[in-house]
Chain A
Amino acid sequence: MVNSKNQGFIVWFKQKWTNGPLFSTAIALIIMIIVQTLVLGFDYDSFGEWFHSWLNNWINILRNNAGTGIVALGMTFVIMTGGIDLAVGSTLVATGAFSMILLNTGSQGLLGGIGLTGAPAIIVTILLVLLLGYLLGSLIGLSITKGKVPPFIATLGAMMIFRSVTQHFMQGYNTTIPMEFLQVASFKMGNYMLMPIIYWAVIAYILYYVSKRTTFGRQIIAVGSNEKAAKLSGVNVEKVKLRVYMLMGVLVSIASIIQVSRIGSMDFSNAGRGMEMDAIAAAVVGGTSMSGGRGLILGTVYGMLIIAVMNNLLNLFGVPPFLREAFKGLIVIAAVLLQKKEKTS
């Protein structure tokens, strides 16, 4: 009896493993969380204290990865259409710099200059920064759709342009951000700074819904899987692609606002460097196919968490910093090895 029950489980597991695209990712994540919990030293006697430090650790992990996590969601859509966006790090810096110019409390501040301060200034800033992200995204999107530049090239170019221009114009620009703006990310609920996590969760939910329930979301899959068939089915392929890059720009500017309001400043030469690779890694670990067509928003959230927990574990184990990237690389490759393979028949 026990044996047959066991076999039932194995069959069920195998079927889930091969057919459920998220199953292997979820299992990997659960295993890592268990390991992490064990490493943190589960202590039954002082459960309350243990739980407190465990929770703190988790909030830290989530908050630190919220920005990249949001960008990875957009990256999932971009990759699903068969494209790629290498310019996210540079867009982050450009929109971040823009927010600082707007908000600067010194004499050079744009909004301060026209007498706008306080809450209205913050709202206007956020809107304008989102608009800039949208415009930069459109620029990339238009060069890909109208200009027929391959996404890799278009965004590689944009990556260089956006950062270089930002660095040039922001030379010697000293900014002080008003304290109120810091509340956007650092507002405390109880004793916890949860805002970035909430933004991430809300955006993930919205995009999950978009991908499953809206015309746009399903058209992304159609375009990425078979562009020709999508076009001949009346799907406006160019519009879908353009909107995906616009969305990406907006998401990056949100990540940028979170970053600026958390730290209060931005290092224009280093901020967001490697962000595109982290975002791609999260999407790929979560089961997004680099050739387009297949991808899951929820998978990308899992993927981001796997990478984040991994980083946290390496930290806890005291692995030397230079070696950590190697582990990240291993995780990415291992994840793709484990995933359901495309049938070759």
Chain B
Amino acid sequence: MIINMENITKSFGSNEVLKQVTLTIKGGDICALLGENGAGKSTLMNILGGVHQMDSGTISIDGKHVEFNQPKQSQEVGIAFIHQELNLINDLPIYENMFLGRELLTKRGRLDLEKMYGETEKMFQKMKIDLDPNTMVRDLDSSYKQIVEICRAMMTNASIIIMDEPTTSLTDQETERVFDMMRTLRDHNVGIIFISHKLNEVIEVCNRYVVLRDGHLVADGNVCEITIPDLARLMVGHEVRSELLRRNLYLGDELLRVEGLTSYPFFKDINLSIQAGEIVGVTGLLGDGRSELFQSIFGAIRIISGQMFLNEKVVNIKSPTQALEEGIAYLPRNRKENAIIKDMDIFENASIVTWPLFSRRGLINRKKHEETFAEQRNTLKLKMGNLTDNISSLSGGNQQKVVLAKWLAANPKLLILDNPTQGVDVGAKEDIYDIIHQLAEQNIAVVVLSSEAQEIMRVCDRTLVMYHGVIQGELTGEKMNEHNIMTLATGGQLT
């Protein structure tokens, strides 16, 4: 199957998102679709998936002109779209989700649960996935949801599969499993369009790449002929740094110490100490409990036992509100679910944390917020329209900067960043790294939680590696390398 998209143009309001984009996808290709957030990747794929309609241009399949007004029409010709936001029904078991919208019926018109269960089980066996098809989707973590989605697309016998950042929430091991699936599909002459920000994954699994920048298609070629730095440069339009960020360390006094912190089943008996002005990386694989550990330091998860000291004083933080008063800030993972309030504008999203702090008798001090925000807009290199534009009008990177701004406005002493560069483009990533270093120089302790070893190595002074709820090891300086991190993260010991 060959899909030809020619001269596709699309605008949202006055914002022209796609400008005369021409793209060809063949069966047997794994084609990486690259670009910064806001470059138009998702829009282009939404047009191919029938979610959006193009303003002008043509789509043809095997030479025949087609038109997609609804997702269903696109699915019927064999295009499966795995959206970034997962489209699974939480309250149905996996096997019913697999057949959603095309349920198998018995002769008498009832749901053929046994057959659907069996088919799902077969598919899982084929894909070597260790999951009970009877599990409720609600009980799966996001990586397994992703895997179920991919299996569902495969069950429709699609000949082109679009994957919109499928690996963002997956561990390396799971990612590898997904890649294996993709390779198998490629060998069966299925075409895959793979949207990802992780360039090393692109190099690993794709054979073709196309790059979008500001709605233009700027590059199209074979992956074997290009390097990661070149790809990054094509995406951003200028040179990208990749060297490690190092600085002179001036550590202050001990800011935070926890002793024997336990919260079953997330983590147990955690001891750690963080100094002012230090950048501490915490990493591990899925289920390591790092998010939960720092969420409980932030008061969002109850601690069962253990003690916490801030500036040598015992504190007992029970809620995020209290943590905020103590000068602890937490930028959560999964921005869309945990950090962005979509019914509020940019300004309100940027000021929500400091409303109570700056208010007088409950009244919002708009002027003070505006001043604070204007300052941060510069330091954060925030690209945005009006303060009153909706937060969703911003690209992922800029949304993340707004979330960062709201916490910085509160002048935290300890800033916890959970996956700060999730869904953030290359340029904004560098900005965020710079900000982290600036903050550390202002004597703020920064904790960076990340599953990307590369990121941890580039930004942090010291790394804690967690495994199944315990700190497996601590790495500094030369020892902070990918091999050591992986060894500890998988439960091994350093020799």
> Residues on A close to B: CB < 8 A?
213-216, 218-219, 221-222, 224-226, 228-236, 293-294, 345
Contact = CB atoms under 8 A, between A and B. Distances in A.
Given A215-B356, A215-B364, A236-B319, A226 B342 contact: yes
Interface string B332-371: 1000011111111000100011011001001110000000
A293 to B, nearest CB: 4
B353 A221 contact: no
A232 B359 contact: no
B31 interface: no
Of A215, A218, A228, A230, most B-chain CB atoms within 10 Å: A215
Contacts of A213: 363-364
A233 B320 contact: yes
Contact of B340 (A219, A229, A293): A229
Contacts of A215: 355-356, 359, 362-364
Contact of A232 (B320, B348, B363): B320
Interface residues of B, number: 31
Interface in B301-347: 319-321, 323-324, 330, 332, 337-344
A234 B348 contact: no
B363 A231 contact: no
B359 A230 contact: no
A218 B348 contact: yes
B300 interface: yes
Interface of A is mostly: helix
Interface of B: 46, 51-52, 298, 300, 319-321, 323-324, 330, 332, 337-344, 348, 352-353, 355-356, 359, 362-364, 406, 410
A216 B320 CA distance: 17
11 contacts: A214-B364, A215-B356, A215-B359, A215-B364, A218-B355, A226-B341, A229-B332, A229-B337, A229-B339, A230-B352, A232-B330
Contact of B341 (A225, A234, A236, A345): A225
A232 B321 contact: no
Contacts of A216: 362
Contacts of A235: 320-321, 352
A232 B338 contact: yes
Nearest to A214: B362
Contact of A234 (B52, B320, B363, B364): B320
Name the 10 nearest CB pairs between A and B, nearest first. Answer: A234-B324, A225-B343, A293-B343, A215-B355, A236-B321, A226-B341, A214-B362, A234-B320, A225-B341, A232-B332
Contacts of A225: 341-344
Given A233-B320, A234-B353, A345 B337 contact: no
B341 A231 contact: no
B392 to A, nearest CB: 8
Contacts of A345: 46, 51-52
B341 A229 contact: yes
Contact of A228 (B298, B324, B337): B337
B364 A231 contact: no
B320 A231 contact: yes
Given A218-B352, A345-B46, A228 B364 contact: no
Given A215-B355, A232-B320, A232-B330, A221 B341 contact: yes
Nearest to A210: B362
Nearest to B42: A345
B50 to A, nearest CB: 12
